[in-house]
Structure formats: structure tokens, C-alpha cells
Amino acid sequence: MTIDIKQQKGEKRKKGGGDPQVAMPSPRATPRGRPTKFDGSADRSAGILDAAEALFAAHGFYGVTVRQVANEAGVDPALLSYYFESKRGLFDAVFSRRAELVNERRMESMRRYEASTAAMTVEGCLTAFLEPVLYLWEVGGDKWRNYLRLVALVNSTPSWGGTAMNEFFDPVIERLIELLKRVLPEARDEDLYWCYNFASGALSLSFADTGRIDKLSGGLCRSGDVAAVRKRLSFFLATGTSELCRRLADGS
């Protein structure tokens, strides 16, 4: 869950036999070693995570090399191993870094909605569930755009997307289902799960930001248009969910 890397790794340096070399007067182009305290490079690992986030979101895990990430972050490739052990460790760190915040915001949003409203609605529940991520999508800047795109990509990846997504995000989804059950007491569980699945797909494709709708609509719609999605998605999903659950309420 949490990133517990950054343990020391320099237990070498024994065997320091003399081996005198000629003095090289020219200073190194890029000096190695521990950085000076106030050179502005506060936290390199965050920069690595940002670069990896953007690249993984755009090309997927296998479509990115550690050298690309290092290059984008402006560090040596070996530094990624130092901080994150392996490429997979880097990916996991990227994925989990912002997950907790997303979950907290969503939980808090649903808690507040539940507490503040006497008569909850399906659309209200879905809005409470969606608004936090739409907000981060809108005002979170490029980093949050990249992260949400990455989550969308993982969400629709068969092989190893499943475990990571379930591990991190299932509790929040269960909370949503719980709310929906109270608004739609006659709804069957399986219908709610299916409706959530449809909703998840619609949201994922929104975050994916593929640019497809731009071409399809001849420029009328823009792929990353948060306001357009916000105006439509909750309502769209809410009517679909409530009508479907009502219709299928009594047996097959």
C-alpha cells in the first residue's frame, strides 16, 4: 500500500585498494554523488513518478522503457532501480501514490451526501461518487489527468489490471453500491453490479481521452471536456440505473 522504499543501499565500498590514477583536472560534465543541499533538487523520486505516470498513461506498462522515464525525468536510469527496485515497482508506486487520496475524497463525498440529504436519489449518489474525480480531472492539472488516464487504462486491461484495481478501489465501489441499495431497495444486487460496470466503462473512456469523439463529431465535442461530461454523465447513468433496476426488480 504505502511506498516503503528508500532504504539505504550503499553497503559496498570495501576493498579500497590504492590504485592511484592520474589527476584529471577537468570537472565532470554532470557530477555524480550526493546532491548539494540547496541545489533545488528537493525530491527526485517525485519527478520520476511524474514522468512515469505520464508515459505509462500514454503507452501502457510495456510501451514504456525505464530509459524513457529516466530521460523524461532528467535522471540516470539507474536511479529508478535505486528508488523503486524494479520497473514493476515503479509502476506500482505510480499507481498507488494517488489512490489513497482519491479514495478518501470519494468516501468523504459520499459520507457528506448521505448525512446532508434526507431523501437521497440515484443521481445524487452517483454524483457524490463521481464528482471528486471529475474535480481532480478538471483542476488537478496534467499530473492528475495523467493519473486518471492511467487508472482508466488499467481498468480496461484484462491481464494484470484486475488485481490492482480490485485491491485499491473496491471498497469505495462497495460504498456506492450500499448507498444505491438504500435508494433502490427493490433492486437486485446483480443488477446494481452490472450497472456499476457500465458506469465504470463510461467513466473510463471519458478519462482515457482518446480524441475519438473529436473526430467522430467533427470537432463538435472535445475529448477531455470536463464540463461536458459533468453535465451529462451522472444523469445518464442515474436514469439508466434506476430504470433498469426497477424493470428487472422482480426476478429474471
Q: What are phi and psi of 38, to 5 degrees?
A: -115, 50
Q: Of residues 20, 22, 23, 36, which one binds DNA by CB under 7 A?
A: 36
Whether the Cβ atoms of residue 181 and residue 187 lie closer than 8 Å to each other: yes
Cell (9 digits) for 15: 576493498
243 touches, from DNA, its own copies, none (C-beta below 5 to 8 Å by class) = its own copies
Question: Which residues sit at the interface with its own copies, rule CB under 8 A?
Answer: 57-63, 149, 152-153, 155-159, 161-162, 165-166, 170, 173-174, 189-191, 193-206, 208-213, 215-217, 220-221, 228-229, 231-233, 235-237, 239-241, 243-244, 247-248
Q: How far is the CB of 70 from DNA (least distance, A)?
A: 8
The listed partner (its own copies, DNA, none) that binds 87, CB under 5 to 8 Å by sort, is DNA
37 binding DNA? (CB under 7 A): yes
All residues at 6 or more sequence positions from 72 whose CB lies less than 8 Å from its CB, including other chains: 51, 54, 55
Using rule CB under 7 A, residue 58 touches DNA: no
108 binds, among its own copies, DNA, none (CB under 5 to 8 A by kind): none
CB of 159 to DNA, least distance (A): 15
Residue from 34, 159, 218, 251 in contact with DNA (CB under 7 A): 34
Tell me: does residue 15 bind DNA (CB under 7 A): yes
Name which position in 26, 30, 163, 252 contacts DNA (CB under 7 A). Answer: 30
**Residue type at 148?**
L
User: Closest distance between DNA and the C-beta of residue 56, in Å?
Assistant: 11
Tell me the C-alpha distance between 148 and 208, whole Å: 8
175 Cβ contact list (under 8 Å, min separation 6): 106, 107, 110
Q: How far apart are CA 241 and CA 184, in angstroms?
A: 10
Cα first-last separation, the chain: 40
Alpha carbon 55 to its chain's center: 13
Find which of DNA, its own copies, none residue 250 binds, CB within 5 to 8 Å per kind.
none
Residue 116 binds DNA, judged by CB under 7 A: no
Q: Considering beta carbons, is residue 58 or 79 the nearer one to its own copies?
A: 58
Length of the chain as a residue count: 252
- Taking CB within 5 to 8 Å according to partner kind, which of DNA, its own copies, none is near residue 159? its own copies
The residue whose grid cell reads 529508478 is 80
Nearer to DNA, 4 or 19 (CB): 19
Contact yes or no for 196/176 (Cβ under 8 A): yes
Decide if residue 35 touches DNA (CB under 7 A): yes
The residue among 56, 9, 174, 46 whose CA lies nearest residue 106 is 174
